[in-house]
Amino acid sequence: MSGIEGKVVAITGAGSGIGRATALLLAKRGAKVILGARRIDRLEALVATIISDGGEAICIATDVTQCADLAALVALAHERYGRLDVLVSNAGIGPVSNFDALRVDDWDTMIDVNIKGVLYGIAAALPGFRRQGTGHFINVVSTAGIKIVPSMGVYAATKNAVRTITEALRQEAGDKLRVTGVSPGFVRTDFAESMTDEVAKAAIQKRMTEIAISPDAIARAIAFAIEQPDDVDVGDIVIRPTAQD
């Protein structure tokens, strides 16, 4: 199935930012979207918006640190539509800080959300993709893993782990499945909300105010990867503000 119309797409972290923008764009272009995030109130409001605009959407509370929640997200797609065509693993957090701050709990949480959340999604969707003979994994990575800077060591490490997972999965996928990594730069989202280090938080918020681009830009990149013919696999997309170093 080429294009976007009619495809069944599950999105994690769909309640805000890149996930929300992606859900809106794909639904507008005819996809059936299954939305997952922890805050069910945001998801329900987004579903209502999509339906009122003539789109099709359903949602389920999803904590990507729980393997069972990802299984339930994928199962919902199969129960409602009989298939899942695309899994967008977008959920992620970035409570960045310098190593000297010793925010070990933040390190653990980033590993659980950013790495395990992607792996749990793969575990949930891959068997169905194999049975169908088609399927597309899209993993949201980050430019933080391309240019390493102070305070982002652990966050960048988790994103580079996802980059490695994505490339290995692409090589194992064979000629029927597609795997795409999308690396955003500074984007206007609530990324800073998870930060517990006030100095780092202020610096990120300031930089976002100065140069961040709309999450719609990332949604368009995701849509581009999805809409390609089945025999075209877009491996990597890096999308950042022109003002970003």
Q: What is the pLDDT of residue 188?
A: 86
240-245 contact pairs (CB < 8 A, 24+):
240/143, 240/184, 240/185, 240/186, 240/213, 241/185, 241/186, 241/211, 241/212, 241/213, 243/210, 243/211, 244/143, 244/185, 244/186, 244/211, 245/147
pTM here? 0.94
How distant, in Å, are the alpha carbons of 136, 218, 236 from that of 142?
19, 11, 11
155 is catalytic: yes
Residue 1 has pLDDT above 60, yes or no: no
176 belongs to a structural domain: yes
Model confidence band, residue 4 (pLDDT cutoffs 50, 70, 90): very high
Contact between 148 and 156 under an 8 Å Cβ cutoff? The reply is yes
Domain containing 56 equals: 8-239
Q: What is the pLDDT of residue 229?
A: 94
Residue 118 belongs to domain with CATH number: 3.40.50.720
2 belongs to a structural domain: no
How distant, in Å, are the alpha carbons of 2, 227, 233 from that of 128?
19, 20, 19
Angle between helices 67-81 and 117-132 (to 10 degrees): 30
Cα distance between residue 213 and residue 185, in whole Å: 8
3 belongs to a structural domain: no
1 belongs to a structural domain: no
| Number of domains composing the chain | 1
244 belongs to a structural domain: no
Tens of pLDDT, residues 12-71: 999 999 999 999 999 999 999 999 999 999 999 999 999 999 999 999 999 999 999 999
What spatial distance separates the first Cα and last Cα of the chain, rounded to whole Å? 38
Tens of pLDDT, residues 141-196: 999 999 999 999 999 999 999 999 999 999 999 999 999 999 999 998 877 777 77
Model confidence band, residue 224 (pLDDT cutoffs 50, 70, 90): very high
Among 120, 137, 155, 186, which one carries the catalytic annotation?
Answer: 155
190 belongs to a structural domain: yes
Tens of pLDDT, residues 96-147: 999 999 999 999 999 999 999 999 999 999 999 999 999 999 999 999 999 9
199 belongs to a structural domain: yes
